[in-house]
Structure 1
Amino acid sequence: RSGANIIETVAATRAALEELRTDWPESIEVTYLQDQSEQVETLLSDLEANVIAAVLLVMIVIVAALGLRSAILVGLAIPGAFLVGVTALWAMGFTMNIVVLFSLILVVGMLVDGAIVTVELADRRLQEGDDAQAAYAYAAKRMAWPIIASTATTLSVFFPLLFWTGMVGEFMKFLPITVILTLFASLFMALIFIPVLGGLIGKRQPQNAAAKRALSEAEKGDPRRIGGLTGAYVRLLEWAILRPGATALLALAMLLGSFGLYGQFGTGLSFFPSVEPEFMQVQVLARDNFSIYERDALVRRVEQRLMAYDEVATVYARSTMSAGQGSEETIGTIQLELTEWDRRRAAEAIGTDIRRDVADIAGIDVQVQTESGGPTAGKPINLQIAARNPAVQGDAVSQVLSIMEQIGGFTDVTDTLPLPGVEVSIRVNRAEAARYGADVSLLGQAVQLLTQGIAVADYRPEDADGELDIRVRFPAEERSLSELGNLRVPTSAGLVPISNFVTFEPVERTGTITRVDEKRVVTIEANVAPGLLVNDQVTALQQALDAADLPDGVSYSFAGEAQDQTEAMVFLVGAFVSAIVLMLVILVLQFNSFYQAFVVMSAIIFSVAGVLLGLIVTGRPFGVVMGGIGIIALAGIVVNNNIVLIDTYNDLRSSGMHPREAALRTGAQRLRPVLLTSITTALGLMPMVLGANLNFFTREIVFGAPSTQYWTELSSAIVGGLVVATLLTLILTPAMLMFGQKRSLQGDEATPAERPRRAWLSSLFRRKRADPQR
């Protein structure tokens, strides 16, 4: 039913059948085939476990970095935002599905970004001696605009995805809706709820002498004297800001190198992730004019072969005289329900064995189709051949099929050309019919009485879902081709044999005529052999067709997955450009500087290197849908850290600090929050990158489950890009800020407050030039 929950519907149906079974004979057995509610429930439970795992992993990092008390404050942002987001989804009438649950995994790291920035700054103020209320009030006020701007940029990234249309848009629309709702809630948590609660329970955390010294040097002293990881970073940052041009060139080389590496070692382009299916469909095709009993015998032979597979749980076979949704050659379909994914081989391997094992059955062709697991249905290769002349069109189809065979890698190839055969054409001499006073429309009704019958009424029995036709036709023994010439039609002079004005001619079978945009088309469909990508096969086929000498008047176009892929690429490019424009407006309003806004936007471009490197490491192709969404989501995450860093830099500059010292001190102060926000986001997605299900309740770790196969490409793109983007934020962004300064270190005037630091820096540079080893 429309709007019904599949799990609840199946459960109610089973309960109703169990009540009825008490009145049934013992010989009646009820079996449930292809119960999709079990698959849905498994997927949802797996993702629920991963949501919990992501939250726990994020909390472990926060506790290790900020301490237990501060971690509790940050961690409260997660359930608070989840509660608001899920409640809003329920109010909007949406159900909990796999896209919503993954969206919650995706935003786990984002939800704590604002809270981390607020709590981390409040913790610094506590270490300097402020009380809890003053520290958290200052942190909330000081970081209000950076957090609002960073959240707004992330929302602007996902906002264009709300307008995604088509099947793919309907499938993925829950992701931007869930992200936007939960991020709105996280803004309230970071700026209002957590500061208020922190003022009540906040407390200065004990620190060792090294941590106190590092904090003091970062705030008021010399950041170069900090030891450990922070000190190493400060020294690297100093090298970068003194050589901004070389730093930018290294980043550019990394970007270009990543494209080269992906071109050499990447696995190509895909439309949607391939997910291990739970069901398969075997189609039995034949061209002979078999009776229903002969068809059923052939289908039964295939069915018996499939029953021998231990990896098949249930088999449902159906023989038919009509093609239905399949090819005209289809004489039967067999639905297979496979055993659990971790107890069998991959479905592709099973399909290959099925084709091989039934190849010796004469007179039939067997095709194996697996469910795509995504928004598209049918075979991935769909080529439409259009022509006005049917004979020319048939020659073109034969030529295309020959090209596909030469390329190789295509399986289960079918076309919609009419099957070879003979039809009887009834040609009416209208002049002779008028002479006898015969009505041509009555002739048509007479032929219908001999064939499919004439519908005279309809009725709806109690055990049927729809209305059924009541048809009148001749008895079965009189419905034959020989009786066609004996038909008579009523006229004013009585019944007249139709042979007086009708001739019968054998003609070539026409079959079904299909038109697209008023053009007569023949469709060629095919699957792709295991190990090959659909995009590579489509590209090879298109290049071969462009070079082929097709008959005049013949045109072709790709539909199906190729068309969906093109439409998705066009939309995602438009959505990315729209997101860039919206982010640029927000950044200019935040910084009042086009240059600083462009510095932030450049980090998005350079982060693409990390996306490509992440896909190379995981061995995944770049997915148009998932990879495209990953880059768009990554843009919002990258901008967040840059906003907080540049805002701190501007605040130090406004206090009169020299640009180079401000950049150095900004890096020292913002290192911990930037690393925390990046690590929490990456760690929350890491189980998906590894394809692991972490179930803390059953204490199981399972790799390669179908629930993770949907999201590995997207997660790999985000995590890989985030690793590179974090390095760029901490190194390249401060270096690029140096390009925007109009005055050099020696040329500009120092303010009174800045002169002691300026003199110290000048002496340092002189000593360094005198002794390059220093």
Structure 2
Amino acid sequence: MNSLIDAAFSRGRAMMILLVMILTFGAVAYVSIPKEANPEVPLPLVYVSTTLDGISPSDAERLLIEPMEAEFGAIEGLEKMSAEATEGFASVQLEFAAGGDIDEALDKVREAADTVQGDLPADATTLNVTEINTALFPIITAVLSGPLPERTLNDIAETVQDELEALPGVLEVDIGGAREEFLEVLIDPTVFQTYNLSFETLTSQLQRNNQLIAAGAIETGGGRIVLKVPGLIENLEDVMAMPVKVDGTTVVTFGDVATVRRTFEDPTGYARIDGQPSLALEVTKRSGANIIDTVAATKQVIDEMRGDWPESLRVTYLQDQSEQVKTLLSDLEANVMAAIMLVMIVIVFALGFRSAILVGLSIPGAFLAGVAIIWAMGYTMNIVVLFALILVVGMLVDGAIVTVELADRRLQEGDSPKTAYAHAAKRMAWPIIASTATTLSVFFPLLFWTGLIGQFMKYLPITVILTLGASLFMALIFIPVLGGVIGRNQPQTARAKAALHAAERGDPRRIPGVTGAYVRLLERAILRPWTTVVLALALLLGGFALYGQFGRGISFFPSVEPEFMQVQVRARDNLSIYERDDLVRKVEDRLVGTGGIESIYARSTMSAGGGEEDVIGTIQLDLVDWQERRTADEIGAEIRTKMADIAGIDVQVETESGGPSSGKPVNLRVSADGFDAQSASVDAVLAAMERVGGFTDVTDTRPLPGVEVAINVDRAEAARFGADVSLLGQAVQLLTQGITVTDYRPPDADGELDVRVRFPNDSRSLSELTNLRVPTSAGLVPISNFVTFEPVERVGVIRRIDEQRVTTIEANVAPGLLVNDQVTALRAELERADLPESASYEFAGEAEDQQESMTFLAIAFVSAIVLMFLILVVQFNSIFQSFVVMSAIVFSIGGVLLGLVITGRPFGIVMGGVGVIALAGIVVNNNIVLIDAYNDLRKEGLSPLEAALRTGAQRLRPVVLTSITTALGLMPMVLGMNINFIGREIVFGAPSTQYWTELSSAIAGGLVIATVLTLVVTPAMLMLREKRDRRSLPSPRPQPAE
């Protein structure tokens, strides 16, 4: 290391040029790096689906789901398999180990899908295999609304879609709420009897008269003549003029027997923004694109197009993530600046302006070097990276402080700047390397954190490792070289000379001021080392006891004040879309005027809620700025109160969750043998939740009650009339969605439109079906001759997890209650509950993630301790001294718990756990500096007592400085404080700080307590194994300076 430092000093100009290049490249990287709020957490999920018209959920489970489960379940690396079977549809969701190669997983799933396809019914569609990725979720939704015709609104939306998808940062734009257009051929049922027509005649005529005919060309002596047969339908008139039947000399056309029109599909949902009909353009960005630039470009394109639109058309932007990103980033950037300023103030006060400039330079140097590498690795700038930068602000200067402080002392002794800084860098190289290594060793295990939480938090150790690694080079290479250039010999005052002489050669008890008072206190402590250690342990145990008595429990992930809310409207009944929309409108109307809501976007639909049958509508609420409204919990409580008296529905409020987890925090999976036993088990669990209390918005995934009509065909009787199931199927389709017979491309449409034949609306009913006469070889025959209608209990969605039918129960917890406390109480209640014999249950969701995180963090903590211990043994070649160094970790944990008691906060599993691990690597640095100095003084021949006192005198300032700078760097986050330098205001409680208050409080509180204790306890513990000289200090004798 000494040769590297000598080489750097001998090439000072090159080092300065290299430093400028690092700063420049880092600045470019910071401006260019993509920015987003939360990290892109890759969900290791693959979704496989297929359809089969008319298949019931039970048959879909047996014929589609079970063969797929058997094949997909053998895929290597599969963690969890969920399946759903519903009317005409089956899907399987495969979850793989987080952090694995998703492309490899997709290849395995596609290969398995090709294999199982042959085991599925022939009419089942080809298995569709897709990846679920959080990067594919919308970054902004542009809602078009106003009193305009539907076709006009659709045309404008499609034009905007094409323009936006041409932007480089946009991956795709989906139009939500749009209905597909088609050409509808309406035929009255009496036509078949009047004109003696069959279903096949109608459909085949349309198909055979809408074909592209390759007629070719004729070669003649006069040239080549191309022949053309216009056979494609081009407009509505072509269908009207198309012949259906020839009766003698009379030609019957579709215009005679049918009404032909262009229209839209039957509504399956309605969308409104603040009461106006609307369409939503959901914009998804490309992976790696800058969210702020992409949203800005999106808005610019829409603003430029608005000049050509009707004045009544309104554009509303919902869930604009770029605003959240800009707010979070600006708040955290302000916190970075505040942390730097606080640290710099302390350094200037302690070391002087010139030394402070040198120490302060290590912050931007290490910052920008780390950001440059993060950018080069393809990562983004997000809240985790920014907090990691705040976390290391105080740590980045630790090495530089120790180096500059020693150089400062050498300058006071008369050394030249170059000699002083070169000596300081060489002398402190290994202590700084050891202390940095111990800090990095606690973050290194966090790189192996699995699961979604691990993928979310991985940016923290990556950023810390890169920036602290860069700070090592700043402290030992760049700062000393620069100090040798700009440093000046320091004239000494008589007081400074006396203090320096006392610390280096004289009696340290006679040093004036704080240092002397500390040395005199230290002497009393180390003369009674057992008493000191026992008192420290008593304080530690007292902290644990206080937390056990007054602690607020534990939480999983910090709760963050949201910017959006969602209201779900649920009803357990067979409702038409019109009935659903009426109920959603009632909720929508009552939401108007609720304080704190900026906009209301409502959707009533037949398939809302991501497959949850009882969700008849969702209402997205954009909230006003958090500073200008009540909390989301208070708004939610008011919404629940307002909706409580609406009969027939259950209104639930969900807020945007912080971090990578999604869904309600309480998630319980119940299974049993048979539907009745499973339903009884769910009822028993719900009753237990009611007895525990504190649960809100409780839902379960049992199928909705309802009635279906089974059409039973007497095949033998049907055959006597020349009919079959296929003929019956056509008749039923004419009564429902119609028969798609062909398609055509009109000149005013971007794509092809289906041509669909069906009965008019007033003839599409169950009573019409019973009276329907179908054309057969025996003539028109009433369908009732061979068909009976039987009402049967409807089977809704069948859900399976890992090849077993499962019912999932989800719930929120009431404000002020902790999820962990509620789950613990529910576990105890379920142990006493009377469940069916075959019933079983397991907690999933947040409880499962919490258990996984606790297990990993415990392993990571032990791994970090082992790594640190090995590093310390290498550094000191002493097992005892290594244990003394690590005693600071125990004291720091006591400080963390005491801080939680004082602030009244629960211990956060993720953030608090990471904080304790990070703290372990930070607090040992002080002990490393103390013991390294103590060992050097002992080698110089000082007695243990004198060496301990002189170590305290010499190292008090750097130890206190490094601890204060680390704690002050985190103080804005501890206090939940944002300093707006431009607006010149201080804001408390911003959402950007709520993520990190637990983590920063754990580090700051533990560090302060541990520093105070270790300054006294560490020297006392060293005395336990040394021969103590209890007599007064020997008379001062000259000692060489360090």
Settle same-fold status: TM greater than 0.5: yes
Structure 1 position 255, deviation (Å): 2.1
Alignment check: 8 A CA contact 1:388 1:519 kept: no
Task: Name 2:575's counterpart in structure 1.
Answer: 290
Query: Are 2:286 and 1:2 equivalent residues in the alignment?
Result: yes
Counterparts in 2 of 1:86 and 1:266: CA distance versus 1, 3 Å? same
**Aligned-partner SS, 1:30:** strand
Counterparts in 2 of 1:630 and 1:294: CA distance versus 1, 3 Å? same
Task: Name 2:922's counterpart in structure 1.
Answer: 637
**1:757, 1:368 → 2: CA distance?**
73
Query: Are 2:420 and 1:135 equivalent residues in the alignment?
Result: yes
Q: Output one character per residue of 1:292-324: Cα deviation in whole Å (capped at 9) or x when no partner.
A: 222222212221221112321111111112234
**1:430, 1:495 → 2: CA distance?**
17
Q: Output one character per residue of 1:464-491: Cα deviation in whole Å (capped at 9) or x when no partner.
A: 9999998777665555445666899999
Counterparts in 2 of 1:606 and 1:448: CA distance versus 1, 3 Å? farther
Match of 1:231 among 513, 516, 536: 516
Task: Name 2:359's counterpart in structure 1.
Answer: 74
Q: How does 1:108-119 map to 2 (within 5 A)?
A: 108-119=393-404
**2:777, 2:371 → 1: CA distance?**
76
Q: Output one character per residue of 1:576-601: Cα deviation in whole Å (capped at 9) or x when no partner.
A: 12211211111111111111112222
Counterparts in 2 of 1:591 and 1:708: CA distance versus 1, 3 Å? same
Task: Name 2:392's counterpart in structure 1.
Answer: 107
Q: How does 1:278-357 map to 2 (within 5 A)?
A: 278-325=563-610, 327-357=612-642
Match of 2:313 among 4, 8, 28: 28
Query: What is the identity percentage for the equivalent residue pairs of Structure 1 and Structure 2?
Result: 75
Comparing 69-78 with 594-603, which one deviates more in the overlay?
594-603
Q: Output one character per residue of 1:75-105: Cα deviation in whole Å (capped at 9) or x when no partner.
A: 1101111111111112122222111111111
Structure 1 position 360, deviation (Å): 2.0
**Aligned-partner SS, 1:32:** strand
**2:653, 2:440 → 1: CA distance?**
43
Comparing 648-657 with 346-355, which one deviates more in the overlay?
648-657
Query: Are 2:405 and 1:123 equivalent residues in the alignment?
Result: no
| Higher share of residues assigned helix | 1
Alignment check: 8 A CA contact 1:618 1:716 kept: no
**Aligned-partner SS, 2:620:** strand
Query: Are 2:405 and 1:145 equivalent residues in the alignment?
Result: no
Amino acid paired to 1:90: W
Alignment check: 8 A CA contact 2:526 2:1020 kept: yes
Match of 1:628 among 900, 913, 916: 913
Comparing 722-731 with 320-329, which one deviates more in the overlay?
320-329
Task: Name 1:554's counterpart in structure 2.
Answer: 839
Alignment check: 8 A CA contact 1:149 1:586 kept: yes
Counterparts in 2 of 1:318 and 1:630: CA distance versus 1, 3 Å? same
**1:430, 1:42 → 2: CA distance?**
68
**1:596, 1:212 → 2: CA distance?**
33
Task: Name 2:804's counterpart in structure 1.
Answer: 519
Structure 1 position 170, deviation (Å): 2.3
Match of 2:854 among 546, 569, 587: 569
Counterparts in 2 of 1:437 and 1:651: CA distance versus 1, 3 Å? farther
**2:369, 2:749 → 1: CA distance?**
45
Query: Are 2:702 and 1:414 equivalent residues in the alignment?
Result: no
Alignment check: 8 A CA contact 2:857 2:913 kept: yes
Q: Output one character per residue of 1:383-432: Cα deviation in whole Å (capped at 9) or x when no partner.
A: 11111211011111111111111111111111111222223346678999
Amino acid paired to 1:720: G
Counterparts in 2 of 1:125 and 1:441: CA distance versus 1, 3 Å? farther
Match of 1:655 among 916, 928, 940: 940
Query: Are 2:1021 and 1:736 equivalent residues in the alignment?
Result: yes
Comparing 201-210 with 390-399, which one deviates more in the overlay?
201-210
Task: Name 2:975's counterpart in structure 1.
Answer: 690
- Which is bigger in relative contact order (C-alpha 8 A, separation at least 6)? 1
Task: Name 1:770's counterpart in structure 2.
Answer: none
Counterparts in 2 of 1:236 and 1:554: CA distance versus 1, 3 Å? same
**2:740, 2:869 → 1: CA distance?**
66
**2:749, 2:328 → 1: CA distance?**
34
Alignment check: 8 A CA contact 1:126 1:204 kept: yes
Counterparts in 2 of 1:590 and 1:485: CA distance versus 1, 3 Å? farther
Counterparts in 2 of 1:405 and 1:600: CA distance versus 1, 3 Å? same
| Higher share of residues assigned strand | 2
Comparing 560-569 with 183-192, which one deviates more in the overlay?
560-569
**2:600, 2:422 → 1: CA distance?**
66
In structure 2, stretches of 5+ residues that fail to align are: 1-284, 1037-1042
Alignment check: 8 A CA contact 2:338 2:979 kept: yes
Match of 2:559 among 234, 250, 274: 274
**1:693, 1:237 → 2: CA distance?**
39
In structure 1, stretches of 5+ residues that fail to align are: 747-755, 762-774
Q: Output one character per residue of 1:115-173: Cα deviation in whole Å (capped at 9) or x when no partner.
A: 00000111111122222111111110010011111111111111121222322122222
Query: Are 2:437 and 1:158 equivalent residues in the alignment?
Result: no
**1:181, 1:474 → 2: CA distance?**
69
Alignment check: 8 A CA contact 1:327 1:414 kept: no
Comparing 602-611 with 1-10, which one deviates more in the overlay?
1-10
Alignment check: 8 A CA contact 1:67 1:205 kept: no
TM-score (norm 2): 0.68
TM-score (norm 1): 0.90
Structure 1 position 682, deviation (Å): 0.4
Task: Name 1:390's counterpart in structure 2.
Answer: 675
**2:593, 2:312 → 1: CA distance?**
26
Structure 1 position 249, deviation (Å): 1.9
Match of 2:370 among 85, 93, 98: 85
Task: Name 2:891's counterpart in structure 1.
Answer: 606
Counterparts in 2 of 1:273 and 1:458: CA distance versus 1, 3 Å? farther
Counterparts in 2 of 1:126 and 1:316: CA distance versus 1, 3 Å? same
Structure 1 position 509, deviation (Å): 2.8
Q: How does 1:177-256 map to 2 (within 5 A)?
A: 177-256=462-541
**1:689, 1:32 → 2: CA distance?**
34
**2:495, 2:790 → 1: CA distance?**
101
Alignment check: 8 A CA contact 1:459 1:469 kept: yes
**2:530, 2:782 → 1: CA distance?**
97
Task: Name 1:579's counterpart in structure 2.
Answer: 864
Match of 1:381 among 652, 663, 666: 666
**1:382, 1:331 → 2: CA distance?**
22
**2:940, 2:649 → 1: CA distance?**
83
Alignment check: 8 A CA contact 2:944 2:1028 kept: no
Structure 1 position 446, deviation (Å): 7.2
Counterparts in 2 of 1:517 and 1:465: CA distance versus 1, 3 Å? farther
Counterparts in 2 of 1:641 and 1:438: CA distance versus 1, 3 Å? farther
Alignment check: 8 A CA contact 2:609 2:618 kept: no
Amino acid paired to 2:935: N
Amino acid paired to 1:561: E
Structure 1 position 697, deviation (Å): 2.8
**1:63, 1:464 → 2: CA distance?**
71
**Aligned-partner SS, 2:397:** helix
Aligned length: 751
Amino acid paired to 2:1014: T
Q: How does 1:352-367 map to 2 (within 5 A)?
A: 352-367=637-652
Task: Name 2:1002's counterpart in structure 1.
Answer: 717
Counterparts in 2 of 1:494 and 1:225: CA distance versus 1, 3 Å? farther
**Aligned-partner SS, 1:309:** coil
Q: Output one character per residue of 1:491-522: Cα deviation in whole Å (capped at 9) or x when no partner.
A: 99999998788765433332111111112111
Structure 1 position 253, deviation (Å): 1.8
Structure 1 position 289, deviation (Å): 2.8
Amino acid paired to 1:580: I
